[in-house]
């Protein structure tokens, strides 16, 4: 019995000793790790500013080009640089009359805008309001036609050449565009039926809505040009 108890005592003592030894090793490891961290922080604090700057230097600059595509040629740029200014800047050579534009309109435009430009189903192009009234701020149902709303005749040329017909924009020749512009202006009774439209005469067409548009100078430097916005005027 005494031998059995002694054996149990020594086993318990050995188990406790092993646990104490393990705990001591863990504490020692923690202390050592803390010492290493302290040394690392101290070394970092002692790093000269020049080395710190080198370590945090900005990444290399990206290349000037990505090697995709190629520069546009002057001819390609010219093909897209076709905007027409309100005063006619950019209008190409050529001419047209209402008689020239009538068959082109019938073939390429009437299907969307109607036989006379009034039937639709797309935008109504022809028509003027009595007395050339400008009620659009009060009556959103009033049709915004070339004759009632557009402030510049040159915009008609710009838009047709750039965007029409919708299934083949840009496909019309300049003289075809001049003919269409003359035809639409004549339907709106803005020019005589036999008038010749070209780069010199088109900017001179007086549009009834022009007086209802004023320069929008909000946020613009006083010396710079400003886009136009329409301004409702009181009807007498």
Q: Quote the number of domains for the chain.
A: 1
What percentage of the chain has pLDDT greater than the value 70?
70
Residue 31 has pLDDT above 50, yes or no: no
CA distances 80 to 76, 162, 163, 189, Å, are 7, 9, 12, 32
Mean pLDDT confidence for 40-63:
62
Residue 148 has pLDDT above 90, yes or no: yes
Question: 205 versus 6: which is more confidently predicted?
Answer: 205
Which of 160, 172, 150, 147 is closest to 84 using CA atoms?
160
Residue 11 domain-assigned?
Answer: no
Lowest mean per-residue pLDDT among 53-67, 120-134, 151-165, 166-180: 53-67
pLDDT, position 35: 53
pLDDT, position 207: 98
Residue 161 domain-assigned?
Answer: yes
pLDDT, position 97: 98
Residue 3 has pLDDT above 50, yes or no: no
Residue 9 has pLDDT above 60, yes or no: no
Residue 87 has pLDDT above 60, yes or no: yes
Question: 49 versus 130: which is more confidently predicted?
Answer: 130
Strand 197-198 relative to strand 213-215: parallel, antiparallel, unpaired? unpaired
Distance between CA 179 and CA 174 in Å, rounded?
A: 9
Question: 60 versus 103: which is more confidently predicted?
Answer: 103
CATH code of residue 119? 1.10.760.10
Lowest mean per-residue pLDDT among 42-56, 76-90, 93-107, 126-140: 42-56
Residue 136 has pLDDT above 60, yes or no: yes
Task: Give me the domain span that covers residue 118.
Answer: 83-230
Q: At 120, is the pLDDT very low, low, confident or very high (cuts 50, 70, 90)?
A: very high
Residue 48 domain-assigned?
Answer: no
Token pair belonging to 232 = 């409702």
Residue 43 domain-assigned?
Answer: no
Render pLDDT for 206-225 as a digit per residue (tens, 0 to 9).
999 999 998 888 887 776 55
Strand 95-96 relative to strand 197-198: parallel, antiparallel, unpaired? antiparallel
Residue 233 has pLDDT above 90, yes or no: no
Mean pLDDT confidence for 166-181:
97
The neighbour count for residue 141, using CB atoms within 10 Å, is 6
Residue 44 domain-assigned?
Answer: no
pLDDT, position 44: 53
Residue 155 domain-assigned?
Answer: yes
Residue 128 domain-assigned?
Answer: yes
Residue 77 domain-assigned?
Answer: no
């Amino acid at each position: 019995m005494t031998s059995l108890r002694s054996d149990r005592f020594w086993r318990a003592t050995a188990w406790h000793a092993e646990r104490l030894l393990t705990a001591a090793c863990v504490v020692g490891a923690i202390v050592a790790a803390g010492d290493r961290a302290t040394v690392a922080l101290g070394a970092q604090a002692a790093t000269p500013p020049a080395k710190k700057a080198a370590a945090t230097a900005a990444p290399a600059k990206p290349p000037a080009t990505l090697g995709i595509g190629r520069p546009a040629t002057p001819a390609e740029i010219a093909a897209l640089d076709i905007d027409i200014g309100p005063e006619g800047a950019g209008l190409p050579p050529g001419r047209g009359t209402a008689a020239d534009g009538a068959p082109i309109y019938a073939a390429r435009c009437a299907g969307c805008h109607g036989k006379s430009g009034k039937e639709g189903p797309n935008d109504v192009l022809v028509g003027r309001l009595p007395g050339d009234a400008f009620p659009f701020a009060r009556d959103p149902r009033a049709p915004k036609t070339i004759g009632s709303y557009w402030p510049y005749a040159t915009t008609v040329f710009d838009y047709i050449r750039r965007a029409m017909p919708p299934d083949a924009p840009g496909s019309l020749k300049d003289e075809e565009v001049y003919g269409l512009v003359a035809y639409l202006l004549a339907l709106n009774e803005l020019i005589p039926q036999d008038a010749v439209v070209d780069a010199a005469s088109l900017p001179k067409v007086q549009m009834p809505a022009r007086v209802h548009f004023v320069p929008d100078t909000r946020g613009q430097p006083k010396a710079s040009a400003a886009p136009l916005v329409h301004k409702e005027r009181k009807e007498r």
